[in-house]
Amino acid sequence: MLLAGLLALAPARGEEGWPQPCPAAPNQYLALPKAHAALAAGKKLTILAFGSSSTEGSGASDPAHAYPAQLEARLRAAFPGHEVQVLNRGKGGQEVAEMLARLEGDVLAAHPTLVIWQAGANAVLRGMAPEQFSAAMALGIARIRASGAELVLMDSQRAPRILSAPNWERFDAALGQLSLDSQVPLFSRATLMRAWAEAGTPSDAMLGPDGLHHNDRGYACLAEALARSLTEALGPARIAGR
């Protein structure tokens, strides 16, 4: 069973480095037919995590605890015999215009199968106009899709510094509308963190003392939920000829 690898990877309750298991959360459906076909054909699956500090791993104890590294480990466990790589192209403090400036060199030049683009938090914190954010994101979405890569959007974490900023709801709405208009799936951290809270784990248990970035547990549980969605989207995968 494909999820067996993911479950086997999760340490037991009380194990050192993982004091508590991840709270329950519903699976978020992601339609990724190109990536599914590539994996089924035995091709290398290159996933590129693009974004700002939440992708780079600010707040994690080391790079191995950032979500891209955690995601790679889970997907490799879920798809044994397949070559799976997750590249981390996050740079802290950047908003969408700065990410667009490095899109060619940091993203498209790597020829990824799938890009996971996390955006919105710094636009909120800097007071960027939601309309300007949407226009820039739409340009980036078009360029990524024109390259042949598939794309998943990721919205902002539910953190006190974001929730206290003006207009933060409009950026959530903007990403949701971009997902609908471009027919690009959205993996929503807002939805995920609400589910965690409903399961009895408040957002501050998944955030560091800065009131913005995930802690190690938050990144690990984000990676677990994202890996679960990707495993459903990409599998079952059988290497061609075997």
Condensed to tens digits (0 to 9), the pLDDT of residues 216-241 reads 999 999 999 999 999 999 987 544 33
- 33-233: CATH topology is Rossmann fold (3.40.50)
pLDDT of residue 20: 76
Residues 6+ positions from 106 with CB-CB distance below 8 Å: 50, 89
Give the pTM. 0.90
Residue 181: partners with Cβ closer than 8 Å, 6 or more residues away: 138
Close Cβ partners of 118 (under 8 Å, ≥ 6 residues apart)? 49, 50, 51, 52, 54, 55, 90, 154, 155
8 A C-beta contact, residue 239 and residue 84: no
> How sure is the predictor about 2, in pLDDT bands with cuts at 50, 70 and 90?
very low
Give me the pLDDT at residue 5, please. 43
Q: How confident is the model at residue 52 (pLDDT cuts 50, 70, 90)?
A: very high
Tell me which residue of 25, 57, 22 sits closest to 192, measured CA to CA: 25
Question: Does the pLDDT at position 3 exceed 50?
Answer: no
Contacts of 35 (CB under 8 A, 6+ apart): 45, 113, 114, 150, 233, 234
Please say if the pLDDT value at position 6 is more than 80: no
Phi, psi of 16 (to 5 degrees): -60, 135
Report the DSSP beta bridge partners of residue 10: none
- How high is the mean pLDDT of the chain? 89
Integer Cα distance of 146 and 133 in angstroms: 20
Which long-range contacts (C-beta less than 8 Å, at least 24 apart) are formed by 39-43?
Answer: 39/79, 39/82, 39/234, 39/235, 39/237, 40/237, 40/238, 40/240, 41/240, 42/82, 42/239, 42/240, 42/241, 42/242, 43/113
DSSP string, 8-30: HHSPPTT-TT--SPPPP------
Task: Indicate the SS3 state at residue 126.
Answer: coil
What residues contact residue 36 under an 8 Å CB cut-off, 6+ apart? 233, 234, 235, 237
| Chain position carrying tokens 């979500």 | 67
* Residue length of the chain: 242
Going by C-alpha positions, the residue among 6, 78, 31 that lies closest to residue 186 is 31
Structure token digits, residue 80 = 């044994």
Question: What mean pLDDT comes out for the span 72-85?
Answer: 96
From the CA atom positions of the chain, what is the Rg in Å?
17
